[in-house]
């Protein structure tokens, strides 16, 4: 080996070490599980395994919540309160979260270039802007496809509330990475029980018949898509027989715990998310709707934040005391903020150029604020974080290989968070 090395010119010899190391550490073609960034930043070992992604759909007003501007004359009626971290202030709509700021890494310098709901939501979930020609995968699909499921009988990717075909599904990846959608947390997982007249044997017979009927079709059309559907069916059967089905049933949770999360749909969704993560579901998205406050912003934000504040605070506490917060990254995300100026309907309009998102758990250093906005909350003045950067940070905490190029069926190259760079200062 050493002789081989000597034959090379000077440059190659010197660079050889350097680049071999780079290749080894995952920049090269053959990288699989090694994460180059971990090596580069020297020994940070993010511990996130799971993600609870809380999506405030419609665009939450950052000025009235996480990034208050008491000196701005269009701040509106809300007061500013201190949090349990020195120098960090929230609006008085978030009294419970203010007491848990020590868990949060608040990013006040989010920046998007998509000012409408659908493209904004798409961008937030996939790191790519919407295109007619391709569907990009969401983070949950990236996670389960790259790192696998923890619980082999439960789905790896679940979405609670919101719409079934909202962006951020499997995209061009295999259909089996699509999130399982639960419309209402109260209903748990519907249609999972066998019909009462079907016993074990009957079930087995029926499955055998179905398989027999499929056999010739599969022989003739053994395409990826056909196989993917087959996987979806067998996953469903495994799920029906899972010992962990109880995870979906909120009735198994003591009243005292249910009370802390509150009676709102979002609160129940958060509780269900905790139960699922506890049972090895890796990515759970919970949607809270109605944040599009074009009219009557102040009253509506006040009404919307009350249950949101309670539920997220309860979730953080619950995860923290159970020891789940270390390995569960809680993400508070939205598609954009709202304008500093109050419009003629006493509402606020869409405002993608500056807004706030937050992270907690999963190896994140709580109690810090990253980035800031100007005196009216209108634009980012320090440490701008783009949507791909934010998603790269999530992926980084999960140890996903950010550099790994995955090709769509049409041969186009894509990566987890496009070209986003993780904000390592948050760890």
Partner 1 sequence: MPEFLLPFGPFHIVLLHLPIGVLAAILFVEVFLRDKDDRKLPALGMLYFLFVLTTAFAIGSGLIYEKSGKFGDEVEDHERWGFIFGACALVTYVLSWVRRKKKNPGVLAVYVVALIATTGAMVVTGHLGGELVHGKGFLTKGFKSDERPAPPPPKESSSNEPPQTSTTVSSGVTPSVLANSERMDSQVMTIAAVDPKVALFNAAHAVLERNCFECHGATKQKGDYRVDSAEAIMTVGRGRKEPVVAGDPNASELYYRILLPADDDDVMPPSKKPRLSPQAIEAVHDWIAAGAYWPTQAELDAAKGSHSNVGTPATDKAIATINQTGAKAEYNAWGDGSVRVDLGVVFPEQLGTALQAIGSLKSELIWLDCSKLKLPNGFFNGVTRFENLERLHLDGTNVTDTDLAALGQLPKLKYLNLYDTQVSDQGLATIEQLYGLEKLFLSGTKVSEPAVESLRRNRPEIDVVYRK
| Pairing of β 385-386 and β 368-370 | unpaired
Nearer to partner 1, 77 or 323 (CB): 323
- The correct pick among 42, 87, 133, 220 for binding partner 1 (CB under 8 A) is 133
Please say whether the beta carbons of 158 and 284 come within 8 A.
Answer: yes
The stretch among 82-90, 92-100, 148-156, 350-358 that binds partner 1 (CB under 8 A) is 148-156
Collapsing DSSP to helix, strand or coil, 186 comes out as: helix
Q: Is position 22 an interface residue for partner 1 (rule: CB under 8 A)?
A: yes
Cα gap 24→43, rounded to integer Å: 16
Q: Is position 213 an interface residue for partner 1 (rule: CB under 8 A)?
A: no
Cα gap 397→45, rounded to integer Å: 8
- The correct pick among 31, 91, 157, 288 for binding partner 1 (CB under 8 A) is 31
- Residue 242, phi then psi, degrees to nearest 5: -70, 145
DSSP states along 259-317: HHH-SSHHHHHHHHHHHHHHTT--EEEEEE-----SSSHHHHHHHHHHHHHHHHHHHHH
Q: Is position 30 an interface residue for partner 1 (rule: CB under 8 A)?
A: yes
Nearer to partner 1, 92 or 130 (CB): 130
- The correct pick among 187, 375, 419, 425 for binding partner 1 (CB under 8 A) is 419
Nearer to partner 1, 225 or 243 (CB): 243
Interface positions, 242-301, toward partner 1 (CB under 8 A)? 243-244, 278-280
Interface positions, 359-418, toward partner 1 (CB under 8 A)? 398-400, 403, 405, 410-413, 415
Q: Is position 102 an interface residue for partner 1 (rule: CB under 8 A)?
A: no
205 token code pair: 């017979």
Q: Is position 11 an interface residue for partner 1 (rule: CB under 8 A)?
A: yes
Find the shortest distance in angstroms from Cβ 316 to partner 1.
12
Output the CA torsion sign for 270, 276, 282, 283.
negative
The stretch among 45-53, 64-72, 87-95, 176-184 that binds partner 1 (CB under 8 A) is 45-53
Any long-range contacts for 127-134 (C-beta under 8 Å, 24+ apart)? 127/387, 127/388, 127/391, 127/392, 127/416, 127/417, 127/418, 127/420, 128/414, 128/418, 130/167, 133/410, 134/171, 134/172, 134/408, 134/410, 134/412
DSSP states along 362-389: TT--SSEEE-EE-TTS-SEEES-EEHHH
Q: Is position 207 an interface residue for partner 1 (rule: CB under 8 A)?
A: no
DSSP states along 199-231: -HHHHHHHHHHHHHHHHHHHHH---HHHHHHHH
Cα gap 415→405, rounded to integer Å: 5
| Site track 156-195 with partner 1 (rule: CB under 8 A), x = hit | ----------------------------------------
Nearer to partner 1, 218 or 419 (CB): 419
Q: Is position 73 an interface residue for partner 1 (rule: CB under 8 A)?
A: no
With tokens 């009988």, the residue in question is 153
Find the shortest distance in angstroms from Cβ 137 to partner 1.
16
Q: Is position 42 an interface residue for partner 1 (rule: CB under 8 A)?
A: no
Number of residues located near partner 1, criterion CB under 8 A: 66
- The correct pick among 3, 45, 165, 255 for binding partner 1 (CB under 8 A) is 45
Helix H, strand E, coil C: the string for 119-145 is: HHHHHHHHCCCCCCCCCCCCHHHHHHH
Please say whether the beta carbons of 72 and 377 come within 8 A.
Answer: yes
Nearer to partner 1, 5 or 208 (CB): 5
- The correct pick among 3, 8, 237, 373 for binding partner 1 (CB under 8 A) is 8
Any long-range contacts for 23-32 (C-beta under 8 Å, 24+ apart)? 26/401, 26/403, 26/404, 27/403, 31/401, 31/403, 31/404, 32/401
| Site track 326-345 with partner 1 (rule: CB under 8 A), x = hit | x-------------------
Find the shortest distance in angstroms from Cβ 276 to partner 1.
12
Q: Is position 32 an interface residue for partner 1 (rule: CB under 8 A)?
A: yes
283 token code pair: 């990515």
- The correct pick among 9, 71, 86, 200 for binding partner 1 (CB under 8 A) is 9
Find the shortest distance in angstroms from Cβ 18 to partner 1.
9
Find the shortest distance in angstroms from Cβ 39 to partner 1.
6
Find the shortest distance in angstroms from Cβ 378 to partner 1.
24
Q: Is position 204 an interface residue for partner 1 (rule: CB under 8 A)?
A: no
The DSSP element (H or E) to which 393 belongs, if any, is: helix 387-397
Q: Where along the sequence are the contacts to partner 1 (CB under 8 A)?
A: 1-2, 4-6, 8-17, 19-35, 38-39, 45-47, 133, 147-153, 243-244, 278-280, 320-323, 326, 398-400, 403, 405, 410-413, 415, 419
């Amino acid at each position: 080996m050493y002789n081989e090395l000597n034959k090379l010119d000077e440059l190659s010899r010197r660079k050889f070490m350097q680049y071999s190391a780079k290749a080894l550490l995952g920049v090269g073609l053959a990288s699989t599980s090694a994460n180059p960034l971990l090596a580069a930043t020297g020994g940070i070992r993010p511990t996130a395994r799971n993600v609870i992604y809380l999506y405030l759909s419609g665009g939450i007003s950052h000025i009235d919540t996480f990034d208050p501007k008491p000196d701005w004359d269009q701040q509106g009626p809300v007061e500013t309160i201190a949090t349990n971290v020195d120098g960090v202030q929230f609006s008085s709509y978030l009294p419970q979260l203010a007491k848990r700021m020590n868990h949060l890494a608040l990013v006040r310098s989010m920046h998007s270039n998509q000012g409408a709901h659908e493209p904004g939501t798409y961008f937030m979930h996939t790191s790519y802007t919407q295109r007619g020609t391709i569907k990009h995968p969401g983070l949950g699909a990236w996670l389960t496809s790259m790192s696998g499921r923890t619980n082999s009988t439960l789905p790896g990717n679940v979405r609670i509330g919101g719409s079934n075909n909202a962006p951020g599904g499997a995209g061009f990846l295999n259909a089996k990475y699509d999130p399982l959608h639960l419309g209402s947390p109260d209903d748990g997982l519907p249609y999972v029980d066998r019909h009462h007249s079907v016993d074990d044997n009957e079930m087995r017979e029926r499955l055998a018949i179905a398989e027999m009927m499929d056999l010739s079709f599969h022989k003739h059309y053994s395409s990826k898509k056909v196989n993917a559907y087959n996987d979806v069916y067998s996953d469903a059967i495994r799920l029906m027989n899972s010992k962990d089905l109880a995870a979906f049933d909120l009735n198994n949770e003591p009243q005292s715990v249910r009370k802390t999360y509150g009676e709102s749909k979002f609160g129940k969704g958060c509780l269900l998310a905790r139960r699922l993560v506890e049972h090895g579901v890796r990515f759970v998205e919970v949607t809270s709707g109605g944040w599009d406050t074009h009219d009557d912003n102040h009253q509506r934000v006040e009404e919307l934040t009350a249950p949101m504040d309670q539920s997220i605070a309860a979730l953080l506490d619950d995860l923290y005391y159970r020891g789940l917060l270390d390995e569960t990254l809680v993400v508070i995300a939205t598609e954009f903020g709202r304008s500093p100026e109050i419009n003629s309907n006493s509402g606020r309009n869409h405002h993608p150029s500056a807004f706030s998102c937050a992270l907690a758990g999963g190896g994140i250093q709580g109690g810090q604020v990253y980035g800031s906005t100007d005196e009216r909350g209108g634009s980012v003045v320090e440490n701008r974080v783009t949507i791909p950067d934010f998603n790269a940070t999530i992926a980084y905490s999960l140890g996903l290989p950010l550099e790994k190029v995955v090709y769509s069926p049409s041969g186009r190259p894509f990566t987890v968070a496009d070209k986003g760079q993780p904000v390592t200062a948050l760890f």
